[in-house]
Amino acid sequence: MESLSSCRSSSFTSPLILPPLASAPPKSPRTLLCYCSVSPDPWSLSDGNPDRPKPRSKNPKNPLSDDNARRIIKAKARYLSVLRRNQGPRVQTPRWIKRSPEQMVQYLQDDRNGHLYGKHVLAAIKTVRALSARGEGEYDMRAVMASFVGKLSFREMCVVLKEQKGWRQVRDFFAWMKLQLSYRPSVVVYTIVLRIYGQVGKIKLAEDTFLEMLEAGCEPDEVACGTMLCTYARWGRHKAMRSFYSAVEERGVVPSVAVFNFMLSSLQKKSLHRNVIDLWRKMLDKGVTPNAFTYTVVISSFAKDGHGDEAFKCFYEMKNAGFVPEEVTYSLLISLSNKNGNFEEAVCLYEDMRSRGIVPSNYTCASLLTLYYKRGDYPKALSLFSEMDKYKIAVDEVIYGLLIRIYGKLGLHEEAEKTFKEVEQLGLLRDEKTYLTMAQVHLSSGNPAKALSVVELMKAKEVLFSRFAYIVLLQCYVMEEDLDSAEATFQALSKSGSCDAGSCNDMLNLYIKLGLMDMAQHFISQMRKDQIDFDDELVKAILRFYCRRGMLRDAELFIEDIVATGSFENNKFVQTFYTIMHRESMEQKIAPDSSLNCHHLDLLAVELILTLYMASTNCQKMEELLRSLLESAGGLSVASKLINGFVKGGDATSAENLTRKIVKLCCITDDEAITSLIGQCTENKNLKNAEEIFAGAIATSSGTSLLNSMINAYVKCGKLEDAYLLYVKAVERGHDLSAVASSIIVNALTNAGKHQEAESIIHKSFEDNFELDTVAYNTFIKAMLEAGKLNFAANIYDRMLSMGVSPSIQTINTMISVYARGQKLAKAVQMFNTAHTWGLLLDEKAYMNLISFYGKAGERQEASLLFSKMQEEGIKPGTEEGCLPDPSTYLSLIRAYTESSKISEAEEILRSMKRKGISPSCAHLNVLLSAFAKVGMMKQAERVFKELTASGVGPDAACYRTMLGGYLNGGYVEEGISLFEQIKECVGLDRFVWSVGVLLYRITGMKQKAEGALSIMSSHGISLIENLEVGSKLKTSSSL
């Protein structure tokens, strides 16, 4: 027991001894206590004090025959083992350890002073460490350690060896250690040496030491083998590591998961992902349980080696094992999903990451922004950017570049430019991609000047130009139509290598746009000579150039060269063009058993070939092509699409020529194509061609759309009589005209004031039971309203309801006008309320109509209530979407108040207009001026007149007449004369104004001025108004 006591005392810390107080009575000896960082030593022997019995165990065990000595010995051994393993920063020392007096005596004799090791061990460590200041061969370890011979046990020598920092000291001390009597070969000491050699990269020494360990008969355990594997992995000796691991496998030693992690991480750093995957599978075969770090490394290798499915499999295994993936793992898988086009999976991964409270990195956000940009989901991209700002995620230049692209796609060019300037102010503007992105946004907005300024800024910042920069610069010059600069840029681009097809296409289009056809032809020849790598768009541009100029032979040679390259075997356009050009018989081409039938044709190719034949005046080939095309199944539809293609492209001449050829071949296209063609002729005011096309098509077709299009053509070209006659003849011949034709002709006749003809068409439509829609009924009702046929308009509305046609808000507005004009205000109100019943959303026009009619009827209270209701519905008067402010609703309300002599309320409405940002017009203020003048309140009228003058709008003639009339009726002679002399130059020869001026001059005795004013009126043929009278009560300016 004494030896056990001495053994355990070597690991105790120094006691805490307090000096006794003088006044304190003597006390019995007490056990001293010591504090440290671990739990108390539960295996201390009792001090034999019966007053302090050992506390009862929570789980008492049966007493052993040897008085628990064996249990104490084994537990003490485990405790010391833990202390041995946790030396250094993880050192653990006893806490609340009880010592007997004998143990304390031994502890003081060892002079441990609270250290884990004895004084002689610390001295040995210090002595050996001090040798690091000496060079190789400058010391003899045997001489240096002579004083320690016989004083250090084997374990203490291992402690000294482990505490060394330099590999030379380890080598020399280990050599000295092997000469000591207490030394015995052990895998522990060899492992210590291997670890230190491995830390400094002395792989050769480590290998020699490992062989020595084998020769000494020490069987390496998993720690020793793991140390060697980590050494190889640390220093990138992967070939040796794999060989050593094979030897370890043969011995049946299984390294720990930490060693596997070390090897996997080392292999991955060198991008040896296949080796990582192989080692991972061996690890699983050995039954080693991976941890979170293992999964992170392996998922990354699977993803980078192109095994996306395996990566996701490991990811889900990791989650099922209870590990939380790191942000880098989520980021990698999101990027992988993005590249593979699995957008939904990428979004799910991001949402899963956010649900776990993981804040994404800027790289992850960049991947998601790229995903949203590719999908066109720009709102989510902007929302993600706002989230980044919320969580203070650093925004780098790449993310700003993506944001600029998104703003450009959304058409938010100002926001894009603002973001670009922000990047520049933050000092993040370094990459040319950001500059070029901003330049492309300017180009997409049609602003090449700003795009060039961005490129110039890039030059000023000395950012190196890549080929892509020259391509963007070329696009700027092409859009600006700067030929010299474009050619210089193209030459610079050519010097850096073969020009890309896109740049060649830009240059060719520039030559064609500037009308430089010879230069364009020479440019094409040069491209063919330089063997440019043509793409689909460039091939189409060249063939379009050849076909529109009728260059048949050039087109044939070019298409032959293109097909010979073999790059366009699966290109539908090229194959169609080549097949049509080189097959001797089109019947063979479109035969049902042919490999290329009509349904597989490329319409653009056929369109260009037809253009080529027309331009080269090769009518025979053109007719053969058309005949073969029209005789095939589906050929008629293809021909119709071709005509529509010409029309949409603005080539009306080719469309007309093609139609004539088809008519000549007695094969008329469908109504849609003819309608489009007539519409194109109408836009070009080419009525004659439209009539020819219509005449050729109507002979074999009775389509309603043809009649509609021709009637519309006559109307738009101002031939109303022809449109009316065509409509009448069509009806007489029994053609089933649509509601569109009726609406067009009735509206045109109404606008021309031919109400009787319009009414006859309406009656005819009802008699023939035409199927009319809401638009047609609205047109009919409005026509009869304009004609003053109010009862007939109401009958049309009743018929509309009886036929089950749903009214629109336009119907409601028109019918309110019908009833109000007919003095049927109650029915107008009923119509207004009916709209609410039907669930129609009333607009400002409906409210305005009724408010205006209320005002005319003197129903001021109802007008005011309706105006308030309109505001409650959220309708802001005068601010209709897409229209300039037109505050006619306020005008109607002001009239309603003034006609009811409620001038103060009318003025309050005027002020509310100003508060809502709606500027009153002269009409609004004139109503108020008239109200004040009518009741003789000229002081208030002058105030309003001054406000009108100061507002910058300027009074109109009506305002001047109102003010002069007020002065005249109120007897304000001097004020009237003053105003007349101010306005007579700007108001013009207004009869009322000058008549009032003459009268006021005469009353005040200014006969000369009166005669002068009268002479001016007479010279311009303006007669004097004789029945004007001045008010009975004269006022002077002093009494105002």
pLDDT tens per residue across span 271-290: 999 999 999 999 999 999 99
Q: How confident is the model at residue 262 (pLDDT cuts 50, 70, 90)?
A: very high
Give the mean pLDDT of the chain: 77
Would you state the pLDDT for residue 295?
93
For residue 888, the tally of other CB atoms under 10 A from its CB is: 18
Q: Does the reported pTM lie above 0.85?
A: no
The token duo for 280 is 């991972």
What's the token pair of residue 112? 């441990």
pLDDT of 41 > 50? The answer is no
* Closest to 645 in 3D by CA, of 659, 631, 633, 627: 659
- Is there a contact between 1025 and 993 (Cβ–Cβ < 8 Å)? no
Are residues 939 and 970 in contact, defined by beta-carbon separation less than 8 angstroms?
A: no
pLDDT at residue 883, rounded to an integer: 40
pLDDT digits (tens, 9 = 90+) for 708-720: 777 777 777 777 7
CB proximity list for 212: less than 8 A, separation 6 or greater = 190
635-648 per-position pLDDT tens digit = 555 666 666 666 66
Query: What's the angle, vertex CA 699, arms to CA 694 and CA 703, rounded to 5?
Result: 70
Distance CA 94, CA 933 (A): 108
- If you average pLDDT over residues 902-917, what whole number do you get? 72
Top-confidence residue, 422 or 906:
422
Query: Furthest-apart CA pair in the chain: how many Å?
Result: 151
What is the C-alpha to C-alpha distance for residues 775 and 177, in angstroms, rounded to an integer? 109
pLDDT of residue 88: 56
Looking at residue 38, its pLDDT comes to 41
Q: How confident is the model at residue 363 (pLDDT cuts 50, 70, 90)?
A: confident
Helices 536-548 and 552-564, interaxial angle, to 10°?
Answer: 160
DSSP state of 146: G
Mean pLDDT, range 595-615, rounded to an integer: 70
| 3-class secondary structure, 972 | coil
Cα 497 off chain centre by = 35
Which amino acid does the sequence have at 316?
Y
For residue 42, give the 3-state DSSP assignment: coil
CA distance 148 to 119: 12
d(CA 926, CA 928): 5
Higher per-residue pLDDT: 1022 or 916: 1022
H helical segments located in 145-272:
154-162, 167-177, 187-200, 203-215, 222-234, 238-250, 257-269
Other beta carbons within 10 angstroms of residue 187's beta carbon come to 16
Q: Would the pLDDT of 30 be above 50? A: no
**pLDDT reported for residue 993:** 82
As a whole number, mean pLDDT of residues 980-986 equals 80
Sign of the Cα torsion 44, 49, 52, 56 reads positive
User: How far, rounded to the nearest angstrom, does the alpha carbon of residue 15 sit from its chain's CA centroid?
Assistant: 70
Q: How confident is the model at residue 669 (pLDDT cuts 50, 70, 90)?
A: low
Q: How far apart are CA 689 and CA 673, in angstroms?
A: 15
- Range of weakest confidence among 128-137, 468-477, 1005-1014: 1005-1014
User: Does position 29 have pLDDT exceeding 60, yes or no?
Assistant: no
pLDDT grade for 315, boundaries at 50, 70 and 90: very high
Cα 263 versus chain centre, distance? 42
Per-residue model confidence (pLDDT) at position 594: 41
What DSSP assignment string belongs to 444-477?
HTT-HHHHHHHHHHHHHTTPPP-HHHHHHHHHHH
Any residues with CB less than 8 A from the CB of 681 and at least 6 apart, and which? 652, 656, 687, 689, 690, 693, 713
* pLDDT for the residue 565: 85
Q: Give me the pLDDT at residue 201, please.
A: 92
Q: Report the pLDDT averaged over residues 876-894.
A: 53
Which range has highest mean pLDDT (284-293, 717-726, 805-814)?
284-293
Which residue has 């009108």 as its token pair? 948
Mean pLDDT of 842-860: 67
Whether residue 515 has pLDDT greater than 70: yes
The number of helix segments (H) and strand segments (E) in the chain equals 55, 0
Q: Computed over its alpha carbons, how large is the radius of gyration of the chain?
A: 51
- Neighbouring C-beta atoms of residue 585, cutoff 10 Å: 10
**Which one of 221-230, 356-365, 550-559, 714-723 scores highest in mean pLDDT?**
221-230
Q: Give the pLDDT band (50/70/90) at residue 300.
A: very high
pLDDT band with cut points at 50, 70 and 90 for residue 167? very high
Placement of tokens 């075969």 in the chain: 285
Give the count of beta carbons closer than 10 Å to the beta carbon of residue 450. Answer: 17
d(CA 477, CA 515): 16
Distance CA 315, CA 325 (A): 8
Q: How much is the pLDDT for 264?
A: 93
pLDDT in tens, 372-401: 888 888 888 888 888 888 888 888 888 888
pLDDT at 504 over 80: yes
In which element (H, E) is residue 922 found?
Answer: helix 922-934
pLDDT by residue (tens digit) across 101-149? 776 676 666 665 556 677 888 889 999 999 988 888 888 999 999 999 9
Select the more confidently predicted residue: 52 or 649.
Answer: 649
Mean pLDDT of 734-754: 76
pLDDT (mean) for 282-307: 91
The pLDDT of residue 553: 86
pLDDT of residue 228: 93
Mean of pLDDT values over 912-928: 73
Q: Are 983 and 993 in contact (CB under 8 A)?
A: yes
Residue in this structure with the two tokens 């004609």, named with its chain if needed = 787
> Which residue would you say has higher pLDDT here, 243 or 746?
243
DSSP code of 569? T
Pick from 186-200, 793-807, 877-891, 1008-1022: least confident: 877-891
- pLDDT of res. 238: 92
Q: What are the tokens at 509? A: 């289009």
The CA distances from residue 1027 to 347, 992, 999, in Å, are 85, 11, 10
pLDDT class for 11, splitting at 50, 70, 90?
very low
Query: In which residue are the tokens 């005795």 written?
Result: 1005
Please check the confidence at residue 27 and state whether its pLDDT lies above 60. no
Q: Which two tokens stand for residue 516?
A: 């430089």
Query: Quick check: 687 and 720 in contact, CB under 8 A?
Result: no
- 336 phi, psi to nearest 5 deg: -65, -45
Q: Give the number of other Cβ atoms within 10 Å of residue 156's Cβ.
A: 19
Contact assessment for residue 487 and residue 506, using Cβ atoms and an 8 Å cutoff: no
Taking 90 as the threshold, does the pLDDT of residue 753 lie above it? no
Work out the pLDDT band at 990, boundaries 50, 70, 90: confident
Q: In angstroms, rounded to a whole number, what is the distance separating the alpha carbons of residues 607 and 598? A: 14
CA distance 697 to 703: 9
* Rounded-to-integer distance, Cα 433 and Cα 115, Å: 62
pLDDT higher than threshold 80 for residue 914: no
Q: Which two tokens stand for residue 506?
A: 């830009």
CA distance 95 to 38: 5
